[in-house]
Amino acid sequence: MNHTQHYTLCFSCPDRVGIVARVAGFFAELGGWILRSSQHAEEDDNRFFMRVEVRADSVDCGLAELRRRFATIADECEMDWRISDSAVRKRVVILVSRQKHCLYDLLERWESGELDIEIPCVISNHDDARGLVEWHGIPYHHVPMGGDDKAEAWAEIERLFLESGGETMVLARFMQILPPALCERFAGRIINIHHSFLPSFVGASPYRQAWTRGVKQVGATCHYVTAELDQGPIIDQDVVRVGHGDSVGDLVRYGKDVEKAVLARGLRDHLEDRVLVNGRRTVVL
């Protein structure tokens, strides 16, 4: 991430001649100093994706005006687009169950300033992590989900998320299946870390599944949550080598390191507006 204040434009649109020229020309006219720019053309469905970081102090207008002016090009090119300001911290709500390794990891990154975000609250179906979270000065909400009817709990979680101004919801090993309606309402805003190298070992106990199948590497996958379990677009994934001598418990332990690293990388890509979804695939610019 660039530490100079910058605006980040990202968009996708039908591919045709001249898009880069239009966008680059637009910024050049404003005196915009481009810090970073990347693009991708998906040939199969003729779609174009682009992301541009431009120094805020090089542009002769504010964010609102920048958006207003860019809208003309965006309309002409039929873009899905957004422009964000690096000076505005994103608001990330973390959901967690009993396992706390991803939570510790995110808290350290937040505490050290590596993750330059607001964490308005942490939500959990257990009360275990309250002390740690509150010690960090972050509000903690315990929403029990023990019973058969979880609808009320989910409604409460949604209310807490909205009330806290949450933009992104991170399931940092939150071992509960989200209701489809919630997934759809916040499409592209809920990030999960699944403890397997998807599409292998969907669902429960993936490390035990991996052990039983005798694979020689285990992994983790960071993906957007969709209504279909563990089928959302993959942002990042990685693996680690294991052997016949490793028990299920050893796989769990090795996997924790991969989970933490992959979730952190995927979340960061998301927060830096690098991830554009294209059906079941992601473009990470």
Site for a second copy in 184-223 (CB under 8 A): 197-201, 212-217, 219
Q: Is 274 near a second copy (CB under 8 A)? A: no
How wide is the angle at C-alpha 271 spanned by C-alphas 162 and 256, nearest 5°?
Answer: 95
When the beta carbons of 85 and 108 are compared against a second copy, the nearer one is 108
How wide is the angle at C-alpha 26 spanned by C-alphas 22 and 28, nearest 5°?
Answer: 115
Report the C-alpha gap between 73 and 66 in whole angstroms.
12
When the beta carbons of 135 and 146 are compared against a second copy, the nearer one is 135
**Minimum gap (Å) between residue 78 Cβ and a second copy:** 18
Nearest to 19 by CA among 43, 47, 45, 44: 47
Whether residue 75 contacts residue 230, with contact meaning beta carbons closer than 8 Å, is answered with: no
Q: Is 154 near a second copy (CB under 8 A)? A: no
257 is catalytic: no
When the beta carbons of 195 and 256 are compared against a second copy, the nearer one is 256
Nearest to 234 by CA among 266, 210, 189, 271: 266
Report the C-alpha gap between 6 and 3 in whole angstroms.
8
Scanning 69-77, 80-88, 128-136, 171-179 for contacts with a second copy by CB under 8 A, the matching segment is 128-136
Residues touching a second copy, count (CB under 8 A): 76
Strand partners, 95: 123, 171
Given 230, 236, 269, 273, the catalytic residue: 230
Question: Which of positions 4-33 make contact with a second copy (CB under 8 A)?
Answer: 17-18, 20-25, 27-28, 31-33
**Minimum gap (Å) between residue 15 Cβ and a second copy:** 8
Q: Which tokens in the block code for residue 71? A: 């809208």
Report the C-alpha gap between 233 and 223 in whole angstroms.
6
Between 57 and 96, how does the x/- string for binding to a second copy read (CB under 8 A)? Answer: -x--------------------------------------
Report the catalytic residues. Answer: 230
